[in-house]
């Protein structure tokens, strides 16, 4: 057995301290959210929390269903917009554009990630919301507006991870496919994309994570009505907005109910991650 | 010397830490100090946070500081009063924080603030605090300036915000769906609106919810079909404050009690104010400050109490 040298032990110890600090922070946050949120959930019934449709904290009515549906809808909308756009951009930049163009464009896409979310929200409020209101009807502050803004916000994540995973596909695959008489597009569709699949799925999962967790931009463009949206043009409130919107003024059980919102969000993200990982593993196993 | 050798390890174990330095092995020295620096940095960070939390606890007990927290409707005014007061008394620091009416009430109860600010009446279980009314504020129902409607009855307003009237044509407007904009649960402005207009009725859950008076005004100023409520002091020419039962919300109408949507701005303290706190409250209630209020859209306390005496109800 090799005994660690004393200074190795010292390094190990300090690194362990650092690693433990990070894990401790995570543990403390988790415990804190559950400790604050669970009692009120138990008191008013888990069923009322998850399936109740009325959110009136001042009347002790804490139905989170509209917010749960809202979060899922807005995330779905963001993926519907962000995934096709992101994948198309990534395929273009890796397979169809000249090296020089892609070297120029990739940093531009990555720059999108550096724009603060409040700026996206502000632009949405100034341009997108009035556009929807005047051309499609409704108040403008809507599921659609939130989906479009989030769809744009998750683009850089999806694009850069997709580019990396498409580039990682060996050139011999492409050459083999072309040699068999496939066109460029057939090669991309039937050889490159299936080979890059796990990376593409990972990019989409990360994008989804960003979409469901985004708060500021969504508050600004979604309208935040705590009601099940009747259409894409109706206002909607997500779980994260519910917390951020009311945290400042909440006290007592209202405050605890916001922590309970956090608990629900926590569990939903866990489930989504689990499902996504499962899907990724299934595909790579095939 | 080969650091991997068994002899070397033996020596290190026997001689302990000192041998690193006597030995002169550069790799050793470097990584040793780096680890030391690392742990030092960690402890310094921890110590810093400890100190931070301690000073946060102690700051309420400092002699020449008053902490005021609560309603964001009152906050901008309180900021100004505090600045004026500090100009005159340079030794005193007044720290004005937000947090909302409920937050302010809690802060005084827990002792984290000396004075709490509330822009709604206290609930039954909060009545153990001492209330000092420092000003009155009107609540304006606002629409887009281009909206042809400029008068509504209280009952109509109630029905609109309850989600029963959903189209402007019902109240002599154009054939457009009404966009209702309200404040979020827990805000003093919403609490006051609920109490004075809605009574036991619920505000519709289809209503758009925003978290400040400013955003409500912004949205109403951009959407021709919207309606909302904000502090009268914040109404400007981008929105139109509509008349209620034929009465425009003006300072005079509010003072005389004709325009009903009026709420107090309260300062809350745990016990009878003394010393600095009393001096500051007296300063806010003094004619100097009170006479400035109308310019900012607020109504002085004295005018109301005088008018109240002359009213039969």
pLDDT in tens, A169-215: 999 999 999 999 999 999 999 999 999 988 898 889 889 999 999 99
Please determine, for residue B55, whether its predicted confidence score (pLDDT) is greater than 80: no
Residue B11 predicted with pLDDT over 50: no
- Residue given tokens 């409500």 in the structure block: B216
The residue among B104, B17, B108 whose CA lies nearest residue B60 is: B108
B75-116 tens-digit pLDDT: 888 999 999 999 988 888 999 988 778 888 888 998 899 999
Q: Residue ranges per domain, chain A?
A: 55-284
What pLDDT sits at residue B310? 41
Higher-confidence residue of B173 and B65: namely B65
Whole-prediction pTM value?
0.76
B227: closest CA of chain A, how far (Å): 11
Give the ranges where A46-196 is alpha helix by DSSP (H).
Answer: 46-51, 65-91, 99-112, 117-123, 129-135, 143-153, 155-167, 171-179, 184-187, 193-195
Q: Does B17 touch chain A (CB under 8 A)?
A: yes
User: Mean pLDDT of all residues in chain B?
Assistant: 79
pLDDT in tens, B266-311: 999 998 888 889 999 999 999 888 988 888 778 888 766 655 544 3
The torsion angle over the Cα atoms of residues B70, B74, B79 and B82, rounded to 10 degrees, is -90
Residue A220, pLDDT > 70, answer yes
Question: Does residue A264 surpass a pLDDT of 90?
Answer: yes
Q: Which residue has the higher pLDDT, A272 or B61?
A: A272
Q: Name every residue whose Cβ is closer than 8 Å to that of residue A169 and which is 6 or more positions away in sequence.
A: A191, A192, A195, A196
Instruction: Inform me whether the pLDDT recorded for B153 exceeds 80.
Output: yes
pLDDT at site B164: 93
Question: What's the pLDDT at A4?
Answer: 64
Residues 194-233 of B with CB under 8 A from A: 194, 202, 205-211, 218-219, 222-223, 225-226
- Model confidence band, residue B58 (pLDDT cutoffs 50, 70, 90): very low
Is the CB of residue B167 less than 8 Å away from at least one CB of chain A? no
ipTM > 0.90, yes or no: no
Q: Does A141 touch chain B (CB under 8 A)?
A: yes
pLDDT at B8: 46
Give the pLDDT score at B311.
39
Considering CB atoms only, which of A7, A56, A226 is closest to B209? A226
B contact residues 22-61, partner A, Cβ 8 Å cutoff: 28, 31-32, 34-36, 38-39, 42
Among chain A residues, the shortest Cα distance to B181 is held by A223
Answer yes or no: is pLDDT of A7 > 50: yes
| CATH architecture assigned to A55-284 | Orthogonal Bundle (1.10)
Cα separation, A21 vs B221, in Å, equals 49
What is residue B33's predicted lDDT score, i.e. its pLDDT? 53
A70 has a chain B CB within 8 A of its CB: no
Residue B123 phi/psi, 5-degree rounding, is -80, 170
Closest among B185, B153, B268, B111 to A63, alpha carbons compared: B185
pLDDT for residue A50 is more than 70: yes
User: Number of residue pairs across A and B with CB atoms under 8 Å?
Assistant: 113
């Amino acid at each position: 057995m090799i005994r660690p040298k004393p200074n190795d032990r010292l390094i190990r110890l300090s690194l362990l301290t650092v690693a433990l600090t990070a894990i401790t922070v995570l543990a403390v946050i988790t415990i804190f959210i559950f400790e604050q949120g669970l009692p009120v959930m138990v008191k008013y019934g888990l069923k009322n929390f998850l399936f109740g449709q009325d959110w009136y904290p001042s009347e002790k009515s804490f139905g989170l269903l509209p917010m749960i549906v809202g979060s899922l809808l807005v995330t779905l909308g963001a993926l519907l917009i962000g995934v096709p756009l992101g994948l198309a951009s990534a395929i273009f930049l890796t397979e169809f554009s000249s090296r020089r163009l892609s070297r120029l464009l990739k940093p531009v896409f990555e720059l999108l990630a550096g724009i603060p979310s409040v700026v996206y929200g502000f632009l949405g409020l100034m341009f997108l919301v009035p556009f929807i209101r005047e051309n499609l009807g409704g108040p403008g502050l809507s599921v659609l507006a939130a989906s479009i803004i989030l769809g744009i916000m998750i683009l850089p994540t999806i694009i850069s991870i997709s580019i990396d995973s498409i580039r990682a596909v060996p050139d011999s695959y492409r050459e083999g496919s072309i040699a068999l008489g496939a066109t460029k597009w057939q090669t991309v569709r039937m050889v490159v994309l299936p080979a890059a699949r796990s990376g593409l799925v990972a990019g989409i999962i990360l994008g989804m994570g960003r979409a469901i967790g985004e708060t500021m931009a969504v508050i600004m463009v979604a309208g935040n009505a705590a009601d099940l949206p009747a259409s894409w043009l109706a206002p909607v409130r997500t779980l994260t907005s519910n917390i951020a919107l009311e945290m400042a003024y909440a006290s007592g059980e209202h405050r605890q109910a916001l922590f309970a919102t956090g608990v629900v969000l926590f569990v939903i993200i866990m489930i989504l991650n689990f499902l996504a990982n499962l899907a990724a593993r299934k595909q790579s196993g095939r | 010397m080969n650091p991997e050798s068994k002899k070397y390890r033996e020596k290190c174990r026997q001689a302990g830490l000192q041998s690193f330095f006597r030995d002169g092995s550069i790799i050793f020295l470097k990584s040793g100090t780096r680890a030391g620096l690392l742990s030092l940095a960690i402890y310094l960070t921890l110590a810093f946070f400890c100190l931070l939390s301690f000073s946060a606890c102690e700051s309420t007990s400092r002699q020449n500081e008053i902490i005021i927290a609560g309603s964001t409707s009152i906050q901008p005014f309180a900021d100004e009063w505090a600045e004026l007061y500090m100009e005159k008394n340079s030794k005193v620091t007044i720290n004005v924080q937000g947090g909302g009416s409920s937050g302010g009430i809690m802060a005084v109860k827990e002792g984290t603030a000396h004075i709490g600010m509330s822009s709604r009446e206290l609930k039954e279980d909060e009545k153990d605090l001492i209330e000092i009314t420092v000003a009155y504020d009107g609540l304006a129902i606002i629409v887009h300036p281009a909206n042809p409607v400029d008068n509504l009855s209280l009952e109509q307003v109630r029905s609109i915000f309850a989600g029963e009237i959903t189209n402007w044509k019902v109240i002599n407007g154009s054939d457009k769906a009404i966009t209702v904009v309200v404040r979020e649960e827990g805000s003093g402005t919403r609490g006051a609106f609920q109490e004075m207009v809605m009574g036991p009725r619920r505000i519709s859950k289809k209503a758009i919810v925003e978290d400040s008076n400013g955003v409500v005004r912004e949205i109403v100023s951009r959407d021709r079909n919207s309606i909302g409520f904000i502090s009268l002091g914040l109404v400007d020419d981008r929105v139109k404050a509509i008349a209620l039962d034929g009465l425009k919300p003006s300072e005079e109408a509010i003072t005389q009690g004709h325009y009903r949507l009026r709420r107090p701005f309260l300062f809350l303290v745990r016990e009878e104010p003394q010393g600095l706190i009393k001096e500051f409250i007296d300063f806010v209630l003094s004619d100097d400050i009170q006479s400035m209020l109308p310019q900012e859209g607020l109504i002085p306390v004295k005018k109301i109490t005088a008018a109240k005496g002359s009213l039969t109800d």
